[in-house]
Amino acid sequence: MDEVMDIKAYVGCIIQGDIPPYPFKRATYWEDTEYRGMCTSRGMWALIDQTWTKELADIIGDRTCLEVMAGFGWLAKALKQHGVDVTATDDQSWAGNRHSAGTPFDFIENLDALSAIKKYADAEMLIMSWPPYDEDIACLVGKAWGNEKPIIYIGEGYGGCNATDEFHECFNIEEELDIPQWDGMHDYLQIGTYNPIVKEL
């Protein structure tokens, strides 16, 4: 049986700025709600732990990665601990809202997503987690990145609360990895390429 943590211990790691070694054991709905708020207020949306991120690191191998919209940098920190060469960027446009209790890790470079893709055009893989569903930034990122190199997408799928439906229609999934998720959420980790739809005039 895979090892799990008590949810209080898991969140305790987050508060200390550490990557939890294992996912947490499912708690009651009310505990989930309380502790989820503690995590999201510190910029952790997808549930990051050392276990599944090691699987992702093995998939990435020695390929260089660029992460855009990295938030506080939890995923990048975990991947770095597993030896992945990842550059994490975020423009911190969310600073000052309820999801900013604390500060991003100091390796986060203050860059918006499109500027980051232009600056780090030599990166071999792109990571994008939890892009907003009410903006077209995920599509713009996909178009800027192109369809020759893979994107690691983390978030809800078609009709969910991440990225627009157009992004999901254009994202060609080649590989998936099961990851932990909050009760009621439907997070996916999908690796594929983005091929924009050519609309007829």
Residue 200: the pLDDT is 47
The H helix count followed by the E strand count for the chain is 7, 7
Q: pTM (2 decimals)?
A: 0.92
For residue 44, CA distances in Å to 71, 166, 181 come to: 8, 25, 12
Domain ranges within the chain, ordered by starting residue? 48-194
Residue 98: the pLDDT is 63
Residue 99: the pLDDT is 61
β-pairing, 151-155 vs 188-194, is antiparallel
Q: Where are the alpha helices (DSSP H) in 17-95?
A: 29-40, 50-60, 74-81
CATH number 3.40.50.150 is the correct assignment for the domain at 48-194: yes
Residue 35: the pLDDT is 87
Over its length of 201 residues, how does the chain's per-residue pLDDT go in tens digits?
479 999 899 999 999 999 999 999 877 777 778 888 888 888 888 899 999 999 999 999 999 999 999 999 999 999 999 999 999 999 988 776 666 667 889 999 999 999 999 999 999 999 999 999 889 999 999 999 999 999 999 999 888 889 999 999 999 999 999 999 887 788 899 999 999 875 544
91-96 contacts at long range (C-beta below 8 A, 24 or more positions apart):
none
